[in-house]
Amino acid sequence: MSAAPPPAAPGAGADASAGPACDAGPDAGAGADLVGLADLVELVVGDPAAGGGCVARAPDGRVVFVRHSLPGERVVARVTGETAHYLRADAVEVRTASPERVAPPCPAAGPGGCGGCDYQHVALDAQRRLKGRLVEVQLERLGGLRRQVEVEALPGSPDGLGWRTRVRFAADRAGNLGLHRHRSHELVPLGSCPLAAPEVAALDVVGRRWPGARHVEVLAVDTPDAPSALVTVDAPRPLPRSTLPRLGAGVGLTVAGRSRHGAGHVVATAGGRRYVVSAGAFWQVHRAAADALVAAVLDLLDPRPGEHVADLYAGVGLFSVPLGAAVGPRGKVIAVERHRAASADLVTNTALLPAVEVRVGAVEPSSVLDGDRLDLVVLDPPRAGAGTAVMAALDARRPRAVAYVACDPASFARDARVLLDAGWSLAALRAFDAFPMTEHVELVALLVPPGALHEAGR
């Protein structure tokens, strides 16, 4: 097995033709027949790759991204996709198993099953090591950083199950709910999802029919004395009330953008504060993630009374609220959010904080360059990242610190590279296992401008 770093899966920020992590020998591919779609092939699997699989070499020399496998295993894999340069495959038989392999807790996990979980066949500690390695590779390849990454467990899901407070199901034409197969529009019917939090599972939306729906999303949080569950139905048109399941008191129901029953929001908590979260607005899916991220951002930034802060991609105000409290009435927090429902919640959630000014619109370089003072910045962009122009504007303003919250290591590494190339330093990096059983991880990074590393004290 080669010691080369694992390539990312196509679309994950690296060239799929990069050298594989396992060595098929100097004659690999020489005179070999091409491996085609649905073929079975025996492989020795190498390092993990972004996309939920591991890397191997096909007999014809092409890189293979093998889902449902583990480093060091010998497997029989069925080819599920192909290009001129690489193949995708599912391990359908394990001939030499890794000691870190376990039985998946969900019968829908595995080849041909639900595409939502990448690592149900991997012991939890090993999942976190794989994720840490993937982050390290992205940081080095795309950010030019060599850094050891330890992925921290979050409380509340010691077995990696029951943590999702938000689950989005797809509906078939008859209104039955399920989840998609990997890289497919085909639905896998489910009796339940073991990743769903108990509050979500208790609503039993998959046990009901939703005729006319395209998707049904459940958001349920444990907040005493407040609306705590919301079902949002995505449908091309309003549905007759007679076709909608009865969900009981205290459960909000929104259909095609219109509230049909109960409140059109839930009240979630983080850091001891309450937040209104409406249908369509984003909230962290792991039941412990919001608390952990707020604590990490505040600890790294150490906001001080009177400081000026930009909270970019502010959402419903997860960070704006504690930042507004920290800087006090002499300080200022500019909270920028473009999503209509989220920005309305942001206004509600910060209404009692005079330091917070909400700006509804997209995050652009002007969001950073506007104003006469900027001490701190929080960036919590969508998966695509903030982009070069916004990062360059941050460099031009030179705040004393930037906290970057990222759900995609590749996008973070590309964005961070803009500042690193300008002399900034990565003063701290934490990684949280906010998505057990999947390859995904949540990062919180502290970036400081040239000459400021000693001030960060980290």
Hey, what CATH class is 288-456 in?
alpha beta
What's the CA gap between 68 and 17, in Å, rounded? 21
Give pLDDT, residue 29.
52
pLDDT at 10: 53
State the CATH architecture for 1-100.
Beta Barrel (2.40)
Asked if residue 32 has pLDDT above 80, the reply is no
Residue 303 has pLDDT above 70, yes or no: yes
**Is residue 330 pLDDT above 50, yes or no?**
yes
- Mean pLDDT, the chain, rounded, equals 91
Is 114 annotated in the active site? Answer: no
Instruction: List the beta bridge partners of residue 449.
Output: none
Q: State residue 238's pLDDT score.
A: 86
Is a pLDDT exceeding 80 seen at residue 7?
no
Cα distance between residue 269 and residue 173, in whole Å: 36
Residue 245 has pLDDT above 60, yes or no: yes
Say what the pLDDT of residue 243 is.
86
Can you name the residues that pair with 442 across neighbouring β-strands? 432
pLDDT > 70 in the chain, percent = 92
Write the CB contacts of 197 (distance below 8 Å, at least 6 apart in sequence): 162, 163, 164, 165, 220, 222, 287
User: Is residue 211 very low, low, confident or very high in pLDDT (cuts 50, 70, 90)?
Assistant: very high
**Sign of the C-alpha dihedral computed for residues 420, 421, 424 and 425 taken in this order:** positive
Alpha carbons within 13 angstroms on the beta-carbon side of residue 190 total: 30
> What is the pLDDT at residue 453?
62
**Mean pLDDT value across residues 351-372:** 93
> Is residue 47's pLDDT more than 70?
yes
What is the rounded distance in angstroms from the CA atom of residue 239 to the CA atom of residue 343? 27
Of the given ranges (29-38, 114-123, 203-212, 393-402), which has the lowest mean pLDDT? 29-38
149, 271 contact by CB (below 8 A): no
What is the structure's pLDDT at 457?
Answer: 41
Token duo for residue 127: 């999942």
Q: Which residue has the tokens 């009865």?
A: 246
Q: What is the mean pLDDT of residues 205-230?
A: 91
**Residue 9 pLDDT > 70, yes or no?**
no
Which position has the higher pLDDT, 19 or 199? 199
Residue 294, SS3 per DSSP: helix
Number of other CB atoms surrounding residue 287 within 10 Å: 24
Residue of 22, 106, 193, 407 with catalytic role: 407
For residues 140-144, give the mean pLDDT: 95
- Distances from the Cα of 166 to the Cαs of 66, 128, 273, 384, in angstroms? 28, 22, 20, 21
pLDDT of residue 33: 81
| Separation CA 227–CA 221 (nearest Å) | 9
pLDDT > 90 in the chain, percent: 80
Dist CA 266 CA 253 (whole Å): 11
Q: Vertex 246, ends 240 and 252: CA angle to 5°?
A: 90
Mapped onto helix, strand or coil, the DSSP state of residue 149 is: coil
Beta-carbon contacts of 405 under 8 Å, excluding residues fewer than 6 positions away, are: 293, 297, 319, 378, 379, 380, 442, 443, 444
pLDDT-derived band at 215, boundaries 50, 70, 90:
very high
Question: Who has greater pLDDT, 305 or 228?
Answer: 305
Domains in the chain: boundaries: 1-100, 166-268, 288-456
Q: How far apart are CA 95 and CA 426, in angstroms?
A: 43
- Element (DSSP H or E) covering residue 76: strand 74-82
Report the distance separating Cα 243 and Cα 169, nearest Å: 18
Among candidate residues 263, 216, 213, 264, the one with its CA nearest the CA of residue 239: 213
Under DSSP, is residue 447 helix (H, G, I), strand (E, B) or coil? strand
Query: What is the predicted pLDDT for the residue at 222?
Result: 85
- The pLDDT score that the predictor gives to residue 456 is 46
Are 325 and 307 contacting, i.e. CB atoms less than 8 angstroms apart? Answer: no
Predicted confidence at residue 158, as pLDDT, reads 95
Strands (E) in 195-331, as ranges, are: 215-220, 229-234, 251-255, 258-261, 265-270, 273-278, 308-312
The partner residues of 403 in beta bridges, in order of sequence, read 378, 446
pLDDT digits (tens, 9 = 90+) for 50-91: 889 999 999 999 999 999 999 999 999 999 999 989 999 999
Determine the Cα–Cα distance for residues 116 and 104; give it in Å rounded to an integer: 13
In this model, does residue 92 exceed pLDDT 90?
yes
What is the per-residue pLDDT for 418? 98
Q: Which has the higher per-residue pLDDT, 174 or 13?
A: 174
